[in-house]
């Protein structure tokens, strides 16, 4: 899940793509920044941590370029536990060769837990 905010009243930060009015996404390679229709190579930002609203406003004011932030669909960032169906950061899941499991479901599926 997204990192929880340091402030209790704030919702978690979200991941976003940046796109222009024509629907092209901001990307970067060895030659620098460019716009592409291929979302799979688009850069991903943390909305609040990367100060996306402020950055987009500054680009609009200084260069006259209108850009927008689009949320990254959660299923493109997180793994889904095949048992409980919750979303987890990839490093929080275990793939046993057949399915992705969160720590709790992996423990419950363990042969050791069946013996107790």
The answer to whether residues 25 and 54 belong to one domain is yes
Count of structural domains within the chain: 2
How high does pLDDT run on average in the chain? 87
10, part of any domain: no
- Interatomic CA distance for residues 15 and 46, integer angstroms: 5
Whether pLDDT at 104 is above 90: yes
Which of 82, 55, 69, 63 is CA-nearest to residue 26? 69
- For residue 14 the two structure tokens come to 């979200």
Domain-located, residue 62: yes
| Confidence band of 2 (pLDDT split at 50, 70, 90) | very low
Q: Mapping DSSP to helix (H, G, I), strand (E, B) and coil, where does residue 44 land?
A: coil
Span 35-71, pLDDT tens digits:
999 999 999 999 999 999 999 999 999 999 999 999 9
Instruction: Establish if 107 belongs to a structural domain.
Output: yes
Question: What does the pLDDT read at residue 50?
Answer: 96
- What pLDDT, on the 0 to 100 scale, is given for residue 76? 83
99 shares a domain with 56: no
Give the pTM.
Answer: 0.65
Q: Return the C-alpha torsion angle 10, 14, 20, 24, nearest 10.
A: -170
Query: Could you tell me the residue range of the domain that residue 91 belongs to?
Result: 78-115
Number of neighbouring beta carbons within 10 Å of residue 58: 11
């Amino acid at each position: 899940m997204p990192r929880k905010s340091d402030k209790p009243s704030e919702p978690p930060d979200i991941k976003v793509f940046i796109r222009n009015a024509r629907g092209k996404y901001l990307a970067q390679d060895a030659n620098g920044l460019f716009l592409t229709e291929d979302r799979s190579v688009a850069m991903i930002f943390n909305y609040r941590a990367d100060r996306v609203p402020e950055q987009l406003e500054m680009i609009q004011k200084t260069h006259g370029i209108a850009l927008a932030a689009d949320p990254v669909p959660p299923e493109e960032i997180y793994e889904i536990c095949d048992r409980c169906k919750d979303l987890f950061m990839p490093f929080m899941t275990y793939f046993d060769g057949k399915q992705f499991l969160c720590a709790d479901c992996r423990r419950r599926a363990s042969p050791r837990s069946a013996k107790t």
